[in-house]
Structure 1
């Protein structure tokens, strides 16, 4: 019950146990086509180029950035947590000129400040995180893509922590590239990164490949020109692999494709609106239960992710001792924190297969007991009823 990875859905684990197929077997390429179709509604898009990057969620992030950004390109990063800092680190390695528009941890960046930053630095790419699990905040994205488009910039969103648990609306937002991962709200294992790419972004990536083919070999050796500086993460080549051409690029991670396919089938079978409502209920119940214990929930309520809740560790309580007791006494894992929040908050997740009423209630009851073991005085027995009432809030309405 941390910020991810979480328990995989049993159906996903069963799917992964199926026998392997050759990557050009008609059955395998049929599964690839199914995956493309299944993930379009999950991303909220009609993009043709909706597929998988083999690797953890970070593989999707790096593939997007290394394929979109050339050395010397100005990139604006919307930074409100650890994973905004990750984008800047990857972009530094690419050789981009990085500008940022920042918010304190626990807040988000208002769209008007993003607009001001775009006007100031004239970026070629604008990149942001949707939900940053380090701060438990979700950046509002309505109007984000249009703002970038009007400025002639491409837009990128890392939705690793929200895909399958909070609405993604790539087309409505007008976002060019969105990447995700399986290990959080989709209820799968880490190791496959769903991605969607707009036609505009695909054309941009394709032009980089075509220009590269005209560069002299010695120029390439000197590191000059706009070439995509990765073979494995070259999205132009990955798109050829997923296209009808089926140009060989790498050996497909067959078991992970099975997992990604089953994650999507489960999500769509439940219904996306129902799934988002379930995650919202779980987050609402978790926050209500924590507050009923007398604890302080971290961050701005208006922009809280539905699937991860930050809560301040009470003064005088050993946060790591509580986490250890949760794990050893109840076999429940909750998360620690990073950076300026390290040692100050716990991050408690309820997502994917774990965004269930009974799992939220068990977690709260266990936390209550472990806090008592550490000598923290709290109102006994209030957390679970408060969580139950909050879970059923929409049903009662």
Structure 2
């Protein structure tokens, strides 16, 4: 019950036990086509280029950024937590010129501040995180794509922590590239990363490479002369593999594809709106239960992620001792924190297969028992009662 990875759905684990197929077997390529179709509604898009990057969620993040950005490009990063800092680090390694528009941890960046930063910096790419599990905040993104297009910039969003649990509206937001991961709200293991790419971004990615007589050469048409700095993460090449051409790029992670396919089938079988509502109830229940126990919830309620809740560690309580007791006495894992929040908050996740009423209630009941054992006075049963009431609301 931490910020991810979380328990995988049993159907996903069963799907991953199937035998392997060759990467060009017609049954395998049919599964690839199914994956593309299944993830379009999950991303809220009609993008033709919707597929998987083999690797954890960070693989898709890096593939997106290294394929969009050339050395010397100005990149504006919407930064409100640890994963905004990750975007910055990756872009620095590419050789981009970094600009940021920032908010304190526990807040979000207002869209008008993003608009002003775009006007001030003239970026080629604007990169943002949708839900940053380090702060438990969800950045509003409506209107981001329009701002970027008006400025001639491409847009990228990391939706690793929210896809499958909160609405991802790629087309409505007008965002060019969005990436995700399986290990949080999608209810799968880490190791495969869904991605969707607009036609506009796909054209930009393809234009960075020039092929003549089968030899990839530096593209000089855009004036940069910059070759994409990765073979494995070169989305132009990966897209060829997922196209009708089926050009060999790498050996597809067959077992992960089975798992990713089943994740999407589970999500769409439940229904997106029903799934988002279940995550909303789960998050609201954790918040209500924590407050009923006399604990303080971190961050701005107006922009809280539905699937991860930050709880301030009370004065005089050993936060790591609580986490250890939760794990040893109840076999429940809750999360610690990063950066300026390290040692200050716990993070409780209720997402995917774990966004269930009974799992939230069991977790809060265990937390109450542990807190009392650690000397923190909390009303007996208040957290569970409040959580159950919030679930019904």
Residue 377 and residue 249 in structure 1: after superposition, are their counterparts in 2 closer, same or farther (change >3 A)? Answer: same
Could you tell me whether the CA contact under 8 Å between 1:211 and 1:227 is conserved in 2? no
2:305: which partner in 1? Answer: 305
1:148: which partner in 2? Answer: 148
Could you tell me whether the CA contact under 8 Å between 1:45 and 1:171 is conserved in 2? yes
Query: What secondary structure is seen at the aligned counterpart in 1 of 2:157?
Result: strand
C-alpha distance in 2 between matches for 1:306 and 1:229: 37
**CA offset at residue 210 of structure 1?**
2.1
Residue 216 and residue 196 in structure 1: after superposition, are their counterparts in 2 closer, same or farther (change >3 A)? Answer: closer
1:346: which partner in 2? Answer: 346
C-alpha distance in 1 between matches for 2:42 and 2:213: 35
1:103: which partner in 2? Answer: 103
Residue 25 and residue 214 in structure 1: after superposition, are their counterparts in 2 closer, same or farther (change >3 A)? Answer: closer
Could you tell me whether the CA contact under 8 Å between 2:312 and 2:344 is conserved in 1? yes
Count of residues paired in the alignment:
390
2:78: which partner in 1? Answer: 78
Could you tell me whether the CA contact under 8 Å between 1:212 and 1:226 is conserved in 2? no
2:357: which partner in 1? Answer: 357
Residue 380 and residue 212 in structure 1: after superposition, are their counterparts in 2 closer, same or farther (change >3 A)? Answer: farther
Query: What secondary structure is seen at the aligned counterpart in 2 of 1:196?
Result: strand
RMSD: 1.6
Q: Which runs of 4+ in 1 moved over 6 A?
A: 211-220
1:334: which partner in 2? Answer: 334
Could you tell me whether the CA contact under 8 Å between 1:43 and 1:163 is conserved in 2? yes
Could you tell me whether the CA contact under 8 Å between 2:218 and 2:225 is conserved in 1? no
1:68: which partner in 2? Answer: 68
Could you tell me whether the CA contact under 8 Å between 2:217 and 2:227 is conserved in 1? no
After the TM superposition, which residues 28-107 of structure 1 pair with which residues of structure 2 at under 5 Å, given as runs? 28-107=28-107
Could you tell me whether the CA contact under 8 Å between 1:215 and 1:225 is conserved in 2? no
TM-score (norm. length: structure 1): 0.96
2:385: which partner in 1? Answer: 385
Query: What secondary structure is seen at the aligned counterpart in 2 of 1:210?
Result: strand
Q: Deviation per CA, 1:264-319, whole angstroms, max 9, x where unpaired?
A: 00000000000000000000000000000000000000000000000000000000
Residue 216 and residue 231 in structure 1: after superposition, are their counterparts in 2 closer, same or farther (change >3 A)? Answer: closer
Residue 309 and residue 212 in structure 1: after superposition, are their counterparts in 2 closer, same or farther (change >3 A)? Answer: farther
**Counterpart check, 1:22 vs 2:22:** yes
**CA offset at residue 182 of structure 1?**
0.1
**CA offset at residue 218 of structure 1?**
9.7
C-alpha distance in 1 between matches for 2:217 and 2:12: 45
Residue 216 and residue 45 in structure 1: after superposition, are their counterparts in 2 closer, same or farther (change >3 A)? Answer: closer
**Counterpart check, 1:257 vs 2:257:** yes
What residue ranges of structure 1 are gaps of 5+ in the alignment? none
1:5: which partner in 2? Answer: 5
C-alpha distance in 2 between matches for 1:266 and 1:243: 25
C-alpha distance in 2 between matches for 1:217 and 1:379: 68
C-alpha distance in 2 between matches for 1:212 and 1:96: 28
